[in-house]
Copies of this chain bind each other. A is one copy, B any other.
Amino acid sequence: MQARQITLASRPVGMPTAETFGSRVVEVGPPADGEVLVRWRFLSVDPYMRGRMNAARSYVPPFEVGEPLIGSAVGEVLESNSPSVAVGDLVLSMASWSDYEVKPAHSLRRLEPVEGVSPSAYLGVLGMPGFTAYIGLTRFAEPKSGEVLFVSGAAGAVGSAVGQIAKIMGLRVIGSAGGAAKATRLGELGFDIGIDYRAGDIVHLLAEAAPDGIDLYFDNVGGSHLVAALEASRDYARFVMCGSISGYNASAREPGPWNLFRVVQRRLTLRGFIVSDHGAALGEFAEKMTGWIRAGQVKYDETVVKGLDNAPEAFLGLFSGANLGKMVVEL
């Protein structure tokens, strides 16, 4: 049968454009021994994918020009040539941006349906972004009840999970997001303060929101948000360095924070991490997060873009803040 794929047509310089993406139709054969044919139902678009569009190896190898883009996806098994996966199973895997794909059965994770939870949640709150929030907080932040945490990108898939888990941990939580509607949504999610960073200078906005400073910063944004967090830091504050979406489309080297010397003055600790190093904790995470969702302690938003051909638009929307919560592409 035939499958349609979205490919990397050329490596972008700066913000990806229409020239960045291509498409093609390929033959996908019947699954060989140990393989299955999957129909993808939800594709994930995530900020980290921008790094894979560059030629340089980062912590994952680059996408190849002319080949499909790759991301997490949830799909349904149409044909199985493996005893471990049955037709109709819902599965999670890294996937080509495509409608149909033949995959080795061992590369798939079978998903147990959770009542009241969309399968797409395995791309967000129950998937990599939620796991990122969990690992960052539990393995790197060393939070103590009553401390003040600031999280940037707080209305996004990672940030909204960070804020809500931090509330469960007993922290005071300040989040920043772009626009008044998102800032209001943070309040509904239980954040103590939601900052609309577009309403002013984030350095001043954070200083107002945290007049006594912050103990923890969970960085998804970098740039002026990192400057603001350094300015607001209390002595011995810990910074969990997770992402820097403000800089992913820079076409030239951008200066770092002018106030990095606060790290010395205030005895700060900055720790970077990559969630894929922590796979051993996936079971622990799944159990806790499922419980929190069932108990109503963690809510999640999704922004759903329909159609494979709109996957590039969904991806680009991550950088303009088009998403509330997890951005997914529904096929």
Contact = CB atoms under 8 A, between A and B. Distances in A.
Contacts of A264: 241-244, 272-274
A83 interface: no
Contact of A255 (B58, B226, B255): B255
A144 interface: no
Interface residues of A, number: 32
A153 to B, nearest CB: 13
Contacts of A226: 260
Contact of A260 (B260, B261, B262, B273): B260
Interface of A is mostly: loop
Copies in the complex: 2
Nearest to A256: B256
Given A59-B265, A270-B263, A277-B267, A254 B247 contact: no
A238 B263 CA distance: 14
10 contacts: A58-B265, A244-B261, A244-B264, A256-B258, A260-B260, A265-B272, A268-B270, A269-B269, A269-B272, A270-B270
Interface of A: 58-59, 222, 226, 241-244, 247, 253-274, 277
